[in-house]
Structure 1
Amino acid sequence: MIRGFHPLLAALVERWRPETHTFVLPVGEVTVTLEDVAHIFGLPIDGEPYLPLLRDFERIHTYSWGSACLAHLYRALCRASRYDTKEMDDPLNLLFVWAWERMPCIAPVPRHILPPAEIPVAMRWSHSERSTAWLEKTMVTFRHDIDYMQEFEWRPYEGMILPSELHGHLDVCDIVAPLLSFECIEWHPADRVMRQFGFAQSPPVNTKGHSTGPALHGSSRSAAL
């Protein structure tokens, strides 16, 4: 199990922008995407939405578990970014592994001493020993590390062998669309982080209906349908 660490979480949350679902870093906008979920957890990101509330368990393998997981992470980050919020819900493991894979400067151990990366990527971090020096870091320290980072891994999964059942799922990892999970609706802003998919980043265009503001955050599945 990958245990949380509050100083690092706080340093990440203060860079989260609910209106865009991205972290604003010195390198630009970045975020956790469907591609990350597929590699870190090995979950399907293409399939049926969670409607109607898992009533047909014989079709449970056809659901888009990955998009549901990401929707909950977005919502948890948006809630945690409020000034009056002191805690954050799961899936923290997804957030921490994403941060450690992409920002070596804040990882608890150098990646080269970990087991080779394979799907699910989270497994190689699950039993990593954290040094005393890392455990003694404060939010101020992590903030400094992020502000002055020299490296950001735009394509950390290149060369990994994806299970055959997930091959086709990568075709939708860069979609710009709503993510649905039970009552939760959150927007997947792939157009703002195209460098994470190996493309040049053009200025994002704000299109009517693609807002991640209060109107969407206040939406539920029943209200949207």
Structure 2
Amino acid sequence: MLNTKPSEPTEEQICQYTRAYVLDLFGSMFFADSSRDSVPAMYLQFIQDLDSLEQYNWGGVVLAYLYISLCVAVQRKTKLMSGPTVLLQHWCWSRLPTGRPRPLNDWSPNWGNPNEHEYPAFGDKWCCLHDYRQGHNWSGVSYFRNELQKLEDYMVKWEPYNALLNQIPCKLPLRVIDERGVWLARVPLVHFWIIEHY
């Protein structure tokens, strides 16, 4: 029997697979639209040179796309929501008591004692096992609309990461802490023709 060992991928093959992965992330996660199976060609220019990807403010671009997607969803009489809905879901779960799953174990992730570069991201707290079965599971959209209408300002946890910031040592990745100065920046978020003031 011949021992066939797979050959090492070439640099070009690695780049091709990386481009395909990034393009899939753009179309399915960051800039998803209602087509569900296509990615606009306008993003191809950004993956031609993979080294240039880090020059762009992708967080701002994704937020701009989310904001315009929310505006479109509430203005039109449609049941379609596009954009980075996972980001919106994480934001809601971290701040609003309505519709949030209950963790099966401890509420916060097991941060352990990594170094300051390896602390998990804040959203990692939702990666543990959760119980999604709640009394309102079969209530439909009207239940959630009603619960959201009843929310008062004091019920919203506007800065859920403050507990982590106040710990010594701080339990957020160093790159997040280093960018703390722009957390409350007032800047336009730009995504092609979309300009959202933030």
TM-score by structure 2 length?
0.58
Runs of at least 4 residues off by over 6 Å: none
In structure 1, distance between residues paired with 2:157 and 2:147: 15
2:99 is matched with which residue: 100, 106, 109?
Answer: 106
Equivalent residue letter for 2:64: A
In structure 2, distance between residues paired with 1:128 and 1:134: 16
Equivalent residue letter for 1:125: W
CA separation of 1:111 and 1:177: change in aligned 2, threshold 3 A: farther
* Structure with higher RCO (Cα < 8 A, 6+ apart): 1
* 1:155 matched residue in structure 2: 159
* 1:128 matched residue in structure 2: 130
Equivalent residue letter for 2:157: E
- Match of 2:132, SS state, is coil
* 2:69 matched residue in structure 1: 76
Equivalent residues of 1:108, 1:134 under 8 A apart: no
In structure 2, distance between residues paired with 1:110 and 1:164: 27
- Match of 2:135, SS state, is helix
- Match of 1:69, SS state, is helix
Equivalent residues of 1:105, 1:146 under 8 A apart: yes
CA separation of 1:137 and 1:112: change in aligned 2, threshold 3 A: farther
- Match of 2:188, SS state, is strand
| Structure 1 residue 95 corresponds to structure 2 residue 88 | yes
* 2:33 matched residue in structure 1: none
Which stretch of the first structure deviates more once superposed, 170-179 or 128-137? Answer: 128-137
Tell me the CA shift for residue 108 of structure 1: 2.3
RMSD of aligned Cα (Å): 2.9
1:60-90 C-alpha deviation (Å, 9 max, x unpaired): 2232121111011001101101233220113
In structure 2, distance between residues paired with 1:111 and 1:171: 35
In structure 1, distance between residues paired with 2:104 and 2:148: 17
* 1:60 matched residue in structure 2: 53
Equivalent residues of 1:67, 1:180 under 8 A apart: yes
TM-score by structure 1 length?
0.52
Identity rate of aligned residues, in percent?
A: 28
| Structure 2 unaligned spans of 5+ | 1-42, 112-119, 165-170
Equivalent residues of 2:136, 2:143 under 8 A apart: no
| Structure 1 unaligned spans of 5+ | 1-50, 189-225
* 2:190 matched residue in structure 1: 180
Greater CA radius of gyration, 1 or 2?
2
In structure 2, distance between residues paired with 1:153 and 1:108: 16
Tell me the CA shift for residue 53 of structure 1: 4.3
In structure 1, distance between residues paired with 2:106 and 2:149: 25
Equivalent residue letter for 1:75: I
Equivalent residues of 1:100, 1:106 under 8 A apart: yes
Q: Work out the number of aligned pairs and report it.
A: 138
- Match of 1:159, SS state, is helix
CA separation of 1:66 and 1:101: change in aligned 2, threshold 3 A: same
In structure 1, distance between residues paired with 2:160 and 2:88: 15
Equivalent residue letter for 2:123: A
Tell me the CA shift for residue 138 of structure 1: 2.0
